Structures are given as C-alpha cells and as structure tokens.
Copies of this chain bind each other. A is one copy, B any other.
Amino acid sequence: MSSRSQTIADTLTRAIIDHRLVPGCKLGERELAEIFDVSRIVVRQALIRLADDGLAQIERNRGAFVARPSMQEAMEIYDALTLVEQGVAAQLSDRLGPAGWAELRQHVERQRQAVAAGNDALADVLGQEFHTVFVRLSRNKVMQEIHAQLVRRTTLLRSLISADFDYCNLLDDHSRVVDLLEKGRLKQAMDLIDTHHRTVVRGYIMDREVFPEMTPAEALAPYLDGKADGATISAGLRQAKPSGNGDGAVHAHVHLPNKDRASTSRASTKKTNRGLPT
C-alpha cells in the first residue's frame, strides 16, 4: 500500500508508456485531481515524481506537461541505454551461470513464438521485456532502476517519433546477442547492442507534431475501473494493449507497414487540439 501520489504517478507513467498521454500534453492539476478524485496536492506530488523520472516537465506557474525530449536528448538517452546494456553484457559474459543463459534463451524463444503466431502486440511487449530481463540478470537493483528509467524515457520518444526502418533486421538481435555472449565473443555482442540502438535511433524522425487525440480524462479512463490500487495498473495494461496496435501508439518493435503510419496522423488534428504550438 504505497501512497496515493505514488499510485497516481504509476498510473500516469503507465498511460505515458502506453502512448495514451503523448509528449506535450498538458497535465493540469485540477483536471487530474477530478479524474483521480483526489486533492490537487496529491496530484502535484505525483507530477513531481514524474518530473524526477524525466517523464514530465514542470514549468513554473505554467504547470506540468508530458515531457517532449529533443532529438539531442533522444540520442543521449539511447547512448546511455547502450552504455548500460554494454556494461551489463560485459558483466554477464563473465559471471552468468547456465540458469541465466537458459532464462534469456527462453525469453527469446517466447518472443519468437509470438512473432510466429502473428501476435505482434505480445511480441512487442516481450521485445521490450528482454532488455529488462537482461539487466535483471546482473542482480544489481540500482542498475535495474536506472535502466528501467531509461527504457521508460525511450517509450516517450516513440510517441514523438516516426519509426522508419527495417524491423526485420532487429528481430533476431536479441537472440544473436545471447549467442555471442555465451560464446564469449563480448566485443561483437557489445557492437551488436550498439548497432541495435543506433539503428533504432537512426530511423527516428523528430520535429514531428504530435496531436493528442484524447483528453487526459479519456486517456486515463481505462486505468480507473476499480479503486486505485495495484490491480488498476494491470487492468489498464490489459485494456491499453490493443490500443498499442490500433491507434497512434507505435512501438519500435512492432512490425508496422507504412500505410498505417499515414492514417495515424490524420485522425489527430480534429478533436481537442491540445496539440503543441510550433
């Protein structure tokens, strides 16, 4: 039972990760207070947490907004992610036992099955999760938290960004990294990790306008079915997952033909126009 501001921060984080709250979206205190049915102060505390995580930006006397990282920051985040994962790779290549390698292989296999079954949404989640599992095997909670924070920020970028590269080449990277590491070819594995992220970030096109298609109230509705406790998050995740495929929420690991991209930006300009200036 953590504090209410923490659960609200978690819910907002979830909503941002699910691309239901897009970069630049205004997070008004009064509005959120009504949505979550709490006082403004609790909301502000949640927003402080989000800002500390780099997911929101608080401008004095102007309020909080979902963070809108610059291209520069995007590259920095991916550089940091690369650095962390390369470091973890170096540690694992020395210290990881058979059980660890098995877990990694099992995860890759599950993702492969999801892809084979055409379940792109599941494959997407598993693809994300791989990196998390990878870092978890370092058995370093501090590192895990740093990594998780970076990963959350990359999901921000994916709202802001149009992925435009060949996903097929990335699909097997995880498997190959595991292979290389287990064979002790650390240098190659690290290069592959670097290439993996560089390929992702190179495909990004920034300076795109992002038009929120939902008010925060609509965006957050799926997370509020029951009372605001732990179950809320997973419930929200369950409902939000299809949206990751159906609306403008594009995950990098999703195989997404170009025609779908076009339809995404079309629907946006119409409704609420909380969209960003410039």
Is A48 interfacial (CB-CB < 8 Å)? Answer: yes
A36 CB to nearest B CB, Å: 17
Number of interface residues of A (CB under 8 A): 32
Main secondary structure of the interface of A (DSSP, over half): helix
Residue pair A80, B49 in contact (C-beta under 8 Å): no
Q: Which residues of B contact A73 (CB under 8 A)?
A: 141-142
Nearest B residue to A79 via CB reads: B140
Contact pattern, A 78-94, Cβ under 8 Å of B = 1, otherwise 0: 01100110111011000
Residue pair A87, B83 in contact (C-beta under 8 Å): yes
Which A89-112 residues have C-beta < 8 A from chain B? 90-91
Is A53 interfacial (CB-CB < 8 Å)? Answer: yes
Interface centre among A49, A53, A80, A146 (most CB of B within 10 A): A80
Is A179 interfacial (CB-CB < 8 Å)? Answer: no
Nearest B residue to A86 via CB reads: B87
Is A76 interfacial (CB-CB < 8 Å)? Answer: yes
Residue pair A5, B48 in contact (C-beta under 8 Å): yes
Q: Which residues of B contact A1 (CB under 8 A)?
A: 60
A35 CB to nearest B CB, Å: 20
Residue pair B143, A76 in contact (C-beta under 8 Å): yes
Which A214-243 residues have C-beta < 8 A from chain B? none
Is A181 interfacial (CB-CB < 8 Å)? Answer: no
Is A52 interfacial (CB-CB < 8 Å)? Answer: yes
Q: Which residues of B contact A76 (CB under 8 A)?
A: 140-143
Which A118-167 residues have C-beta < 8 A from chain B? 140-143, 146, 150
Is A66 interfacial (CB-CB < 8 Å)? Answer: no
Q: Which residues of B contact A44 (CB under 8 A)?
A: 45
Is A278 interfacial (CB-CB < 8 Å)? Answer: no
Q: Which residues of B contact A52 (CB under 8 A)?
A: 49, 52-53
Our pick among B2, B41, B54, B88 for the contact of A83 (Cβ within 8 Å) is B88
Residue pair A146, B41 in contact (C-beta under 8 Å): no
Which A34-86 residues have C-beta < 8 A from chain B? 41, 44-45, 48-49, 52-54, 58, 60, 73, 76-77, 79-80, 83-84, 86
Contacts from A to B (Cβ < 8 Å): 1-3, 5, 41, 44-45, 48-49, 52-54, 58, 60, 73, 76-77, 79-80, 83-84, 86-88, 90-91, 140-143, 146, 150
Sample (6) of A-B pairs whose CB atoms are under 8 Å apart: A3-B60, A52-B53, A79-B140, A79-B143, A80-B142, A83-B88
